[in-house]
C-alpha cells in the first residue's frame, strides 16, 4: 500500500493504471475510519483492480461555526485499517493542495443542495460536490463508493455525475449500524456514554416509522417520529422529513418508496440518520 499526498502525483499514478487496463475504485472519506467505511472499501476491493481511499477533511464543506478543527484525524490508525483491508493507495492531500488560496471553481446542484441538511449547512453540498468532482478527476475512478448513511450526499453526487457526464459510476452502499441500531459515524466519538444511549432512539423511531409507513398516512408517520425525537433529553431537531427515494422531492400519499431523513442534535453533536420506507402493495397511504 502506498500513501500519496500530492494530487498531481495521484493522478499520474491513476492514469498509468488506466493505461495498463486496470479498473479503479475510489472510496472518498474524511478519515476516522470505522466499519461503515470498511464496508465501502471491501466492495471496491472485490469489484476493482485498484482501490484508492481518499482521506481528506474537506474545509470547504464545513460552515464557519462547525467542527472542522476538532474533527477526528487519527491518521496512523486509518492507514493501518486501510492496509489491513487491502487498499492499494491512500490519498491524503493537504488542504492547500486541494484548495489553494486562488481556487475559484465550485459546483452547485440546484434545489437538491438547499433542502434537508443543505437548509442548515449553508454551502455544505457545494463543498462536497466540488471536492468529489476533484477526487473523480484525480483518481480517474471507474467506480466510486458512497454510503446511504449520507443519503442526500449520495443523491447529489449521483445527480452531479449524470448532469456533468462523469464517467465514474456511483455505487450506493447500505448503512452499517451497531447491533443496537446506531448508525456508525466518525462523529459518534463526540458522544458521552449517556448521549450514545439516548441517540439509540433515533434509529429505533425510524425503524418503527418504516413499519407505520406501510399502512398509516404520512402525517401520522412524521408526527410520531417527531414526538419520539423530542422526548430524547437534550435533543434538538434540525429536520425530520419524508422525501421521495429517487429525487428527494417531498413525499405525498401516492409515494411508494420514500426515505425518512432526520438530523438531530444530541447535546453538542449533530447526528443524521435515515431509513428507506416501502408501502405495502395495494395501499395508497390513506
How is 166-212 classified by DSSP, letter by letter?
A: --PEEEEEPPPB-TTSPBP-GGGGGS-HHHHHHHHHHHHHHHHHHHH
37 in catalytic set: yes
| 155 among annotated binding-site residues | no
CB count, 10 Å around CB of 223? 12
Of the candidate residues 184, 229, 261, 266, the single one contacting ligand AMP (CB under 6 A): 184
Of the candidate residues 168, 185, 201, 205, the single one contacting ligand AMP (CB under 6 A): 185
Report the alpha-carbon distance of residue 129 to residue 110 in Å, rounded. 11
CB count, 10 Å around CB of 4? 20
Of the candidate residues 62, 146, 213, 260, the single one contacting ligand AMP (CB under 6 A): 146
User: Measured from the CB atom, is 203 or 235 closer to ligand AMP?
Assistant: 203
Site string for ligand AMP, 15-54 (x = CB under 6 A): --------------xx-----xx-xx--------------
Q: Closest residue (Cβ) to ligand AMP?
A: 147
Site string for ligand AMP, 104-143 (x = CB under 6 A): ----------------------------------------
User: Measured from the CB atom, is 50 or 157 closer to ligand AMP?
Assistant: 157
| 209 among annotated binding-site residues | no
In what side-by-side order are the strands of the sheet with 169-173? 2-4, 89-91, 50-55, 24-29, 143-147, 169-173
Which helix (H) or strand (E) segment is 139 a member of? helix 124-139
CB count, 10 Å around CB of 276? 16
Annotated binding site: 30-37, 61, 147-150, 153, 176, 184-187
Q: Which residues are catalytic?
A: 37
Amino acid at each position: 500500500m502506498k500513501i500519496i499526498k500530492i494530487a498531481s502525483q495521484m493522478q499520474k499514478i491513476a492514469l498509468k493504471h488506466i493505461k495498463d487496463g486496470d479498473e479503479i475504485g475510489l472510496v472518498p472519506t474524511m478519515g476516522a475510519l470505522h466499519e461503515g467505511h470498511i464496508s465501502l472499501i471491501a466492495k471496491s476491493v472485490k469489484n476493482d483492480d485498484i482501490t484508492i481511499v481518499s482521506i481528506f477533511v474537506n474545509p470547504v464543506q464545513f460552515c464557519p461555526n462547525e467542527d472542522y478543527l476538532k474533527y477526528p484525524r487519527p491518521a496512523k490508525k486509518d492507514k493501518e485499517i486501510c492496509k489491513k483491508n487491502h487498499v492499494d493507495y491512500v490519498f491524503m492531500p493537504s488542504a492547500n493542495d486541494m484548495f489553494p488560496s486562488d481556487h475559484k471553481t465550485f459546483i452547485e446542484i440546484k434545489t437538491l443542495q438547499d433542502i434537508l441538511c443543505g437548509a442548515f449547512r449553508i454551502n455544505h453540498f457545494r463543498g462536497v460536490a466540488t471536492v468529489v468532482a476533484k477526487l473523480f478527476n484525480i483518481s480517474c475512478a471507474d467506480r466510486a463508493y458512497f454510503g446511504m448513511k449520507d443519503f442526500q450526499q449520495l443523491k447529489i453526487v449521483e445527480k452531479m455525475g449524470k448532469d456533468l457526464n462523469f464517467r465514474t459510476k456511483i455505487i450506493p452502499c447500505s448503512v452499517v449500524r451497531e447491533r443496537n441500531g446506531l448508525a456508525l459515524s466518525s462523529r459518534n466519538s463526540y458522544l458521552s456514554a449517556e448521549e450514545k444511549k439516548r441517540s439509540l432512539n433515533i434509529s429505533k423511531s425510524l425503524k418503527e416509522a418504516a413499519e407505520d409507513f406501510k399502512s398509516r398516512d404520512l402525517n401520522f408517520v412524521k408526527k410520531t417520529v417527531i414526538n419520539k425525537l423530542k422526548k430524547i433529553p437534550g435533543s434538538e431537531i434540525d429536520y425530520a422529513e419524508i422525501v421521495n427515494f429517487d429525487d428527494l422531492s417531498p413525499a405525498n400519499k401516492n409515494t411508494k418508496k420514500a426515505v425518512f431523513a432526520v438530523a438531530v442534535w444530541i447535546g453538542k453533536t449533530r447526528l443524521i440518520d435515515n431509513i428507506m420506507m416501502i408501502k405495502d402493495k395495494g395501499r395508497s397511504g390513506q
